[in-house]
Structure 1
Amino acid sequence: MIRAAVVALLALAGGGVAAEALATAGTDPVAPPRHDAADALLMRMSEAARSVNYQGVVVYQSQNQLDTLRVLHGFSQGVELERVEALTGEPREIVKRDGKVICLLPRDRRVMFDRPTPKNLFVSLTPERIAQLAPVYRIENLGQARVAGRRCNGLAITPRDDFRYGYRVWADAQTHVPLKVHLVAPGGQVLEQMMFTEVQFPAQIDEADFEPALRNDPRVIEQARGEAVPSVPAPPLPATEQIPAFQLGQLPPGFRVTLRTLQPAADGQGMVEHVVVTDGLTAVSVFGAPQHDHHGGFEGQSQMGAIHAFGRVIGAMRFTVVGEAPSQTIRLIGEGVQTPQIVAEPAHAAP
């Protein structure tokens, strides 16, 4: 499903990072009773969002911003392809192909992509993953509705506390592709909504149709990303890098660390450690890097729509926490960052 790509596309001018979560095992509280029909529908939505061909026009609203986008999504021989093009505002476009991302954006805007954007509305769901959701979300049927002239089945994913957002999703009754999505605050306020106004489900889509439509437009520039970050633990940190690993203290209920990677910084200065925490549906990224410029980055809290960020500096390290989650969740995770007592200065090359 393209909701995450839509959010990323609309945020191009603002820059920043996006969260991706891949699960590893942990221990959860005992799950309350589940509604099997709702769970099954959630599974079908998740799989259809990834593996069904669809194309259409989407209206996206966040706060007072309203945008219209053209969406093309395909799945061929195990490879997911997607193209999202803005039809309103400045020309911009995102094309994804099997974990690779191409972004086309206005020439006068400076954008920094530190991580690939997520692919799907939901993370890949398994029965085990749905069981992980049970202690912190209620999953209930919403009944039927019509979206883009098609009959849809609705599902509510409601948080049991104030540490995460909820969803209301209406999926096509025939293909199970989500056609309307509400992102809902703990108090019930709709923070964002996305809805197809036109949609088709072609049996096949020509690969040429996924080529960037704006590639030859003189008003835009192209930025490419490589392969997605592999979902493997970070290797032991070389002593020459002099960047200590950090740990997270208290996490919100249901959240666990599922991914830890180490990568060169975008500016080439040192390494960035990336930790993902997730409750199975909501994902938050924590980035730790050397603080080369004492005036760089930001401290405190920041917000862009439903995405909150929290920055702080500890010794010679700068930390950024970002995710589509309530501000108290981001702050709690950020304030729980812990580093070794002694932080070494960045290594300098020998003369």
Structure 2
Amino acid sequence: MIVVKWFFLILPVFLTVTASAENALPTNTKARPAWQAVDGKQALAKMAHAMQTLNYQGTVAFLRDGKLEPMKYSHAANRGREQERLLSLNSPLREVVRETGEVSCLYKATQQLVIDQRPFERSFLIDMPNDINQLDAAYGIEMVGEENVAMLPAYVIAIKPKDNLRYARKVWLGRQWFLPLKVVVYDLEGAVLEELVFTELDVKDALPFIDMKPLADGALPSQKSPSGSSAQAAFVMTAIPKGFKEVFFDRKPMHESEQPVDHLLLSDGLASVSVYMEHKNNAQPLVNNDTNGVQSVDAVNFFSHSLGDFQLTVMGEVPSETIRLIADNAKLRVR
């Protein structure tokens, strides 16, 4: 009992001394923390390069809607070829692989393989343009400190939007390899919307590439369609929020229907918004029945409404105001 009392008596003193030591000014007032000499944009540029060229693997935890999902992650790179792999550790067991604009998902229980074309996505961890200067129109980037993640020293970089049309992010970059150890997305009030964090991460000289094949029949590949021009779309964007631009358009069937759906992707270099238009006869029922009802799942907001004989759906990891602004500026194309 005496030992227990002593511990609780000394603990406040210990915490006070520790805090004072951490916050104390260095003896040499000219000395600056190492992170203050590192530029945030340069660090993100190094991250983008490292994510494409290094071989690394580890365990990453995704936090969405209050639910934590741990997964095994690996990235293989060799002579310009890249392959990302996620393997779930909890049910439903599945394996997801991204390579050359194609994402394949194999469900272990049924051995069903689903393939989707996503030429605009670069990583499961965080999308980042090769030219970081593309973010200047919409974001400010700042190095804000150093912390440890998975017992690895990391630079902390804040990506702050210049308006309320997109979310803020923080990225923790490992000092040795400049790989992202932690990424957090914040809503407009500063609350955490999504988070991913590595519990361990190793860089290897090489990692094997795998071939995604189901052990049984039942592969469901999406129909491949070449990227087209948004001039082919049944709708036209009369205005686009500042910083966003059109980066991808295609037309292909969805919902197991033979009727095509127009898909236009908008991006500001970090956040992306998809605009879909399909004929009402083939569309899924409207999610919202009123004119202002933007719905949300985790960090993704979406909105659907009618345009003549068509249904328009806008969805993306951006605030509801951005979704409505884009939806309101999508009009039927006059032929």
How high is the TM-score relative to the length of structure 1?
A: 0.74
**Residues 226 and 44 of structure 1, relative CA distance in 2, 3 Å threshold:** farther
8 A Cα contact 2:238 2:330, kept in partner? yes
**For residues 231 and 38 of structure 1, do their structure 2 counterparts lie closer, same or farther at Cα, with a shift above 3 Å needed?**
farther
Residue in structure 2 matched with residue 119 of structure 1 by the alignment: 122
Gaps of 5+ in 1: 1-34, 238-243, 343-351
1:61-88 CA-to-partner distances (Å, cap 9, x unmatched) read: 1231011111111111211111101112
Pick the aligned partner of 2:87 from 85, 88, 95.
85
Distance 1:267 1:59, change over 3 A: closer
**What SS class does the counterpart of residue 39 from structure 2 fall into?**
helix
**Cα distance, 1:178 vs structure 2:** 0.4
Are the aligned partners of 1:159 and 1:186 in contact in 2 as well (CA < 8 Å)? no
Greater RCO (Cα-Cα under 8 Å, separation 6 or more): 1
Within-5 A mapping of 1:187-266: 187-207=189-209, 210-211=210-211, 215-216=214-215, 223-225=220-222, 230-234=226-230, 237=232, 245-265=234-254
Q: How many residues align?
A: 292
Cα pair distance change 1:63/1:275, threshold 3 Å: same
Preserved CA contact (<8 Å) 1:101 1:225: no
Q: Give the aligned partner of residue 76 of structure 2.
A: 74
CA RMSD of aligned residues (A): 3.1
Q: SS at the partner of 2:204?
A: coil
Question: Which residue, 162, 171, 174 being the options, matches 1:172?
Answer: 174
TM-score (norm 2): 0.77
Deviation at 1:114, TM superposition (A): 6.5
C-alpha contact (below 8 Å) 2:115/2:221 kept by paired residues: no
Q: How far off is 1:106 after superposition?
A: 6.7
**What is the Cα deviation at residue 163 of structure 1?**
0.7
Identity of aligned residues (%): 29
Larger CA deviation: 257-266 vs 150-159:
257-266
Matched-pair contact (CA < 8 Å) for 1:232–1:261: yes
Say which one has the larger Rg: 2
Aligned equivalents of 2:116 and 2:312: distance in 1? Answer: 14
Equivalent pair of 1:140/1:157 in contact (CA under 8 Å): yes
Partner of 1:184: 186
Aligned to 1:102, which of 101, 104, 118? 104
Cα distance in 1 between the residues matched to 2:250 and 2:108: 31
Q: Which moved more, 1:284-293 or 1:251-260?
A: 251-260
Q: Identify the residue that residue 332 of structure 1 maps to in structure 2.
A: 325
CA distance in structure 2 between the aligned counterparts of 1:98 and 1:275, rounded to whole angstroms: 20
Deviation at 1:335, TM superposition (A): 1.9
1:58 aligns with one of 60, 63, 69: 60
8 Å Cα contact 1:69-1:87 kept in structure 2: yes
Cα deviation, 1:91-139, whole Å, max 9, x if unaligned, reads 122112222222123768x99877538232123321xxx3332232110
Moved over 6 A (4+): 110-114
What residue is the counterpart of 2:159 in the other structure? 157
The residue correspondences of 1:275-314 to structure 2 (distance < 5 A) are 275-293=264-282, 296-299=285-288, 300-314=293-307
Change (3 A) 1:142 1:276: same
Paired letter, 1:252: P
Shift of 1:149: 2.0
Which of residues 316, 320, 333 in structure 2 aligns to 1:323? 316
